[in-house]
Amino acid sequence: MNTALPDGLLVVAKADCPTCRLIEPLLAQMAEASPLTVYVQDSADYGAALPASIYDQTLERSYRLGIEFVPTLIRVENGEEVERTYGWHKEDWRQLSGVATLGEELPVMRPGCGSKTLEPGISEELELAFGEIKLSSREIDMGTAEDPMEACFERGWSDGLPVVPPTPVRVLRMLKGCERKPDEVLGLMPPDLVPVTVEKVAINAVLAGCKPEYMPVLLAALEASLTDEFGLHGLICTTMFGSPMIIVNGPAAKAIGMNSGVNALGQGNRANATIGRALQLIIRNVGGGRPGEIDRATLGNPGKVGFCFAEAEGSDWLPLAQERGIAAGRSAVTIFPGEGVQGIVDQKSRDPESLARSFALSLRTVDHAKLAMAGDAVLVVSPEHARVFIDAGWTKQRLREELEKLLLAPGAELVAGAGGIAEGIPARFKDQQVPKFRPGGLLIVRAGGTAGLFSAIIAGWAASGPVGSSPVTREVNT
């Protein structure tokens, strides 16, 4: 379309806008004074007697003019806009049109209506058609009889649950949740090692059911998972249980309504459920990490649909992200190769020493009670349990140090064959005191409902640390 502006006056109007109808009789008078062009957004009838009344049916003209209200009056000189006003303001219209007596009988002022270009649904369609944004993903044309929900299953885009069909409008809305350009490459997505763009993240976020405002958290989680330390490639391919689990800290978690309280590790919260799921769908769809193909998990775990929760901050305990170097008041994600959830039921310990011993005993079972320095673990301490430590003045760091001491075990009890169990650590450890976790291998977070003397262990990948995967924390940016 030739989008050069016609010199003279330009009016953009909507037939169903009362203010546009109010000024309709003035248009002929204005046309006598200056060349006048009228773009009408919703009808071929408005101003039909005028020589240059154009039905802007596609709304392209209105969109390109950036019209927000109707009527809008614009003065154009040499193809360039020099001045505009919107709504009916008698003085403005007289000055712009150069007709000193314009609208003598009309009130001084009448507000206009919203431009049709800004109606929900329409604005995104216009931006896709005429805007600067360029989506580059392949368009899959559904047959008219095809159910888009079923088509997504058929094409293998789903984790087994229904996904939201990624229409261009939905993807555009998702992209508006962040300030990144759609074509920005975030890294190489394992296992296929293909470039993953912000646009592909947004498409999978649509599939997963995310809201646009979740994008910054999802992008941070993806960037953390693509670091060399996290070792996502091996984690996707392993026969073991783990998969990326996301822990969110800071104001972003609250802002997007994440759950850190009752049932924090469970279902029912959209942000928790869909951010974790989106990361898994990116692994599946962009990376090609599908179970039975490259994903060789013997059993897997339910968190592979998605595993994401927020820490319950606001206690005396330092939030995980701050322990890991993020400034207070900033938001961050920590990504961890999590397995399932193992509960710790201790309803009797009322002092920190007893409860720490209880935790330590339970933590021994990570991977296997006879294995050590293999898998990391996240200890999720519920508020009622955390209170036992906090009231006694134990920080998270103190608890971790006490647990490390309590978890030292005589190597003779852990070596292969000891206790009549072939599994175990190498014989060379038999004369040593052996720590359960490698240094930095035990993370502690506070989460859960305020009632219940229960905590939980989320074991990590048995190939934790430099050989496999280390937890990674990344700040959330827009």
Question: Of 72, 204, 225, 362, which one interacts with another protein (CB under 8 A)?
Answer: 204
- Touching another protein, residues 356-395 (CB under 8 A): none
Cβ-Cβ contacts under 8 Å for 306 (sequence gap 6 or more): 208, 273, 274, 275, 276, 277, 278, 279, 280
User: Judged by CB under 8 A, which stretch of 215-223, 281-289, 353-361, 382-390 contacts another protein?
Assistant: 281-289
Say whether residue 118 binds another protein (CB under 8 A).
Answer: no
User: Judged by CB under 8 A, which stretch of 200-208, 250-258, 387-395, 409-417 contacts another protein?
Assistant: 200-208
| Residues touching another protein, count (CB under 8 A) | 36
User: Judged by CB under 8 A, which stretch of 28-36, 190-198, 330-338, 403-411 contacts another protein?
Assistant: 190-198
Q: What minimum distance in Å lies between the beta carbon of 84 and another protein?
A: 31
Say whether residue 285 binds another protein (CB under 8 A).
Answer: yes
Q: What minimum distance in Å lies between the beta carbon of 290 and another protein?
A: 11
Say whether residue 140 binds another protein (CB under 8 A).
Answer: yes
Question: Of 81, 183, 192, 391, which one interacts with another protein (CB under 8 A)?
Answer: 192
Q: What minimum distance in Å lies between the beta carbon of 340 and another protein?
A: 27
Distance separating alpha carbons of residues 474 and 265, to the nearest angstrom:
21
Q: Retrieve residue 83's tokens.
A: 């001045």
Say whether residue 237 binds another protein (CB under 8 A).
Answer: no
Residue 377 · residue 336 · CB < 8 Å: no
Question: Of 13, 23, 113, 207, which one interacts with another protein (CB under 8 A)?
Answer: 207
Say whether residue 185 binds another protein (CB under 8 A).
Answer: no
Write the interaction track for another protein spanning residues 411-430; mark x where CB under 8 A is met and - where it is not: --------------------
Residue 163 · residue 200 · CB < 8 Å: no
Burial of 36 (0-12, 13-18, 19+ CB in 10 A): buried
Say whether residue 145 binds another protein (CB under 8 A).
Answer: no
Q: What minimum distance in Å lies between the beta carbon of 212 and another protein?
A: 15
Question: Of 31, 65, 273, 286, which one interacts with another protein (CB under 8 A)?
Answer: 286
User: Judged by CB under 8 A, which stretch of 52-60, 83-91, 139-147, 456-464 contacts another protein?
Assistant: 139-147
Polymer length of the chain: 478
Distance separating alpha carbons of residues 310 and 317, to the nearest angstrom:
14
In this complex, which beta carbon is closest to another protein, that of residue 203 or of residue 459?
A: 203
**Which residue is it, tokens 């599908």?**
290
Distance separating alpha carbons of residues 378 and 367, to the nearest angstrom:
13
In this complex, which beta carbon is closest to another protein, that of residue 21 or of residue 211?
A: 211
DSSP string, 272-328: HHHHHHHHHHHHHHTS---BTTTB--SS--GGGG--EEE---SSSSPPHHHHTTPPT
Q: What minimum distance in Å lies between the beta carbon of 40 and another protein?
A: 24
User: Judged by CB under 8 A, which stretch of 65-73, 88-96, 203-211, 296-304 contacts another protein?
Assistant: 203-211
Question: Of 25, 114, 148, 426, which one interacts with another protein (CB under 8 A)?
Answer: 148
Backbone angles phi and psi of 187, in degrees to 5: 150, -175
Instruction: For residue 319, count other CB atoms closer than 10 A to its CB.
Output: 24
In order of 346, 382, 386, the CA distances from 350 in angstroms are: 10, 14, 11
240-274 residues labelled b (16+ CB within 10 A) or e (exposed): bbbbbbbbbbbebbeebebbbeeebbeeebebbbb
* Chain-centroid distance, C-alpha 407: 37
Distance separating alpha carbons of residues 195 and 83, to the nearest angstrom:
46
Which residues sit at the interface with another protein, rule CB under 8 A? 121, 125, 135, 137-142, 144, 148, 151-152, 155, 157, 165-171, 189, 192, 194, 196, 199-200, 203-204, 207, 281, 285-288
